[in-house]
Structure 1
Amino acid sequence: MDQTQFLYAALVALLVGLTLAYFALLAWTPPPLYELPSEKRYRAPKDPETLRQLPSVHDAASLDLSVIIPAYNETKRLPSMLSSTLEHLASFPKRSFEILIVDDGSSDGTAAAALKLAGNEYPDADIRVVQLEHNRGKGGAVRHGMLHARGGRLLMADADGASRFADVELLLEALDAIAPADSDASAVVIGSRAHLVKTEAVVKRSALRNFLMYGLHTVLRIAGVGHVSDTQCGFKLFSRAAARALFPRQHLATWIFDVELLLLAKTLGIPVAEVPVTWHEVAGSKLSVVRDSLQMLRDLLILRANQLLRRWGETEDRLKTD
């Protein structure tokens, strides 16, 4: 084979490879996120049989703080988390709040258990329970709650209670410094566990889990979020303006959704601050270390490829409904 034939063959192979990669991207790209009619309604503990219409994040804020709790099969861990959350919030009586629990298609009766628990233990608290018909993934549940919250500040908090809820005061203080509550400024403050890397909370985890953690951090730096030390902590606070800008544009519902939000914030010029928080490992994690790490890597490639090819525009409004 002469040089011309070699170059021609290499060009054909490259074109075939790029074509196959593009079709693989099309096949792996998830469909648009959507909401079913039943998911636009919620139940309250005082009258759990009545379905009420959810508001929109595009409405004006009607209270100070929304706490969005994504929950998938969390009947065992949710009671402790709710207890610590409401105990802390009760110490700030002048701050109005709501707790929005989004049951992500659970099979263990999480929604019913949450309503019963709230009705028996916290009858006066503003707790709303939304039930998704199908399991979407944590990112889908968080997005749904954020799109229907009423607060001027919107907090995402995991149902396992791994992050100390009282540290929300640190996040609120940092957010107020960037985007005052009486303004319409956009900002995000995320809880960070980066300061715990050398402590027993992380060191005692399995060698495989720590290896994958460091590997993910390396990949994330390459992907463009190296400025954030801890992208995956489930304790993040958004101004209402930031929530309006980010969540309608979210595409991914899987574990990597945090990274998508941070990349969107970077693209849109929304400031992101990190605040160290107290965190501890809680038994019962839904994360499968190897499987979900590989899925996160795949989804990160899908995310960046769609963004670079401008199939996912930074300014498109993707609030889909059925």
Structure 2
Amino acid sequence: MSDSRVDTIARLAQWKIDNFGPCSYKKSDPFKVGIWNWYLSIERNRYLYIHLFPEPCRVSKENPPVAKFILRVSNASSSRKFSVSPVQEKVLRTYDDFAWAVDTTFVGRIIIDVEFLDLKMSPLNGGEASSVWPCDGKLQSIAEQSTLGCLSRMLDEAIHADLTIITADGNLRAHKAILSANSPVFHSMCHHDPDEKESSTIHIKDMSPESCMALLSYLYGTIKLEGFWKHRLALLGAANKYDIGSLKDACEESLIEDLNSGNVLERLNEAWLYQLQKLKKACFTFLFEFGKIYDVRDDMNSFFQHADRELMLEIFQEVLTIWKPI
């Protein structure tokens, strides 16, 4: 492994330095997070100084990043000691814009983590900075917006609705054609199941009216980002149950996007339950290759009490694969 390589996953960057002495300076290779290439550097001069800065280029000059982030430095010994920075939020243009002075005696093999909480573009001509990560923007053309507006009215006002959905705590009205076009399972329920075809009624009693409406909003193309994030676990279950592949993929990508130490065990269980290979791999990488297993060790007992036996075996095999003797 190169001593200057920085690995990234989701919004986390990690630099593993094999040997850092008492009087040393090192600079990382560039790594990409958001739309910028970044560098880390580390030097010792009474304190341990860690710098984070964007690569000097046209993008960082014309749209300097406003970065909100946390830094953590740790040794790689069995005791695994940590130093964690306060949350930083700064406009970063050059090497001198940010330096974290750490009062530590760490030497030898050390690990530096940078977790980006948000990244915004700062326009040169002023104005409000905007996040480079997904936001509820309207990217559709005028024609698409018009069509989506019509579909939204059809759903909200039940215009020519020909289907009743019975949820856990209320009923919703929808259209057989829309549901059938999105899901082979709904198509079969609406057109081949004798009882549901005759009554024009389907039962989705494992979803609340709010979650079911979020599902319908997705199928009608009118879901908002806030609603998607709020109900995405229920949407994932529905996508799996009704064979809606695009929604299942969207949920998986979303669950990877904000993976962190507080939710990684829950995400790993969801990945196993719904056979989400990309999410499972991301969880394993986060826990073992990035060393975040130390952050969740207090939660592991509870997790193992409820985890599927085959999942526990797969975790054990992953540990054997990754934690080879150095």
Q: Same fold (TM over 0.5)?
A: no
| TM-score normalized with structure 2 length | 0.23
Structure holding more strand per residue: 2
Normalization by structure 1: what TM-score? 0.23
Task: Decide which structure has the larger Cα Rg and report it.
Answer: 2
